[in-house]
Structure 1
Amino acid sequence: MKQLTILWIFYKKLIIPSVLFSLLFSLLSPFKVETFGLSFLLLLPMLHYFIYEVRLKNEYLFYYHFGFSKLFLWGFTLSFSLIVKTIMAFV
């Protein structure tokens, strides 16, 4: 349970802006669910890079102490964005 809380702290900074910007992009273009999925697929890793690689580099150490490596966090980000894109393709 503690590790899920730590992951939520990490992804709270990524998921909320990704969903909002994806909705904005999909509303600016002719609204399609596929557009939302594609923009989410592109935005989530991009926000991960800018927030945690450029702006908050030292926070990786905090998550490492709880057992989450940088590679795991990147893999989870990419997997989650791909899963959302796949689900949106079938909706």
Structure 2
Amino acid sequence: MIKSFKILWIFYFKILIPAVLFSLLIAFQTGFNVDNFGLGFLLLFPLFHYFIYELRLKNEYYFYANFGFSRLFLWILTLSLSLIINIMTKFL
């Protein structure tokens, strides 16, 4: 169980930092609002997933598949996490 979380952390760490930074940049450009950050994160998190893992590092999917994480599972988790964070920012 802990091993799975570590593997997922490795996967999402490459996406999380640029998504948060660019979401903050968008939020500051539009007058900082938590809703703007959430919307930017909702759009950028899956976009960075696509750019990093579908275009740039295609072969890393094999690494995650060896640990039991399919490409579909990783995409569903990415979309779910971005939606959850967007919903959480709506209530702040």
Question: TM tier, shorter chain?
Answer: over 0.9
Task: Report the 3-state secondary structure (helix = DSSP H, G, I; strand = E; otherwise coil) of the residue aligned with 2:31.
Answer: coil
- Tell me, in whole angstroms, the C-alpha distance in 1 between the residues paired with 2:6 and 2:88: 25
CA RMSD of the aligned region, Å?
0.5
- Tell me, in whole angstroms, the C-alpha distance in 1 between the residues paired with 2:31 and 2:60: 38
Unaligned stretches of 5+ residues in structure 1: none
* % identity of equivalent residues: 60
Alpha-carbon shift at residue 78 of structure 1 (Å): 0.1
Aligned to 1:16: 17
Which contiguous aligned blocks of 4+ residues in structure 1 show a shift greater than 6 angstroms? none
Letter of the structure 1 residue corresponding to residue 59 of structure 2: N
Unaligned stretches of 5+ residues in structure 2: none
Map 1:37-56 → 2, pairs under 5 A: 37-56=38-57
The total of aligned residue pairs comes to 91
Letter of the structure 1 residue corresponding to residue 86 of structure 2: K
The alignment's TM-score, normalised by the length of structure 2, stands at: 0.97
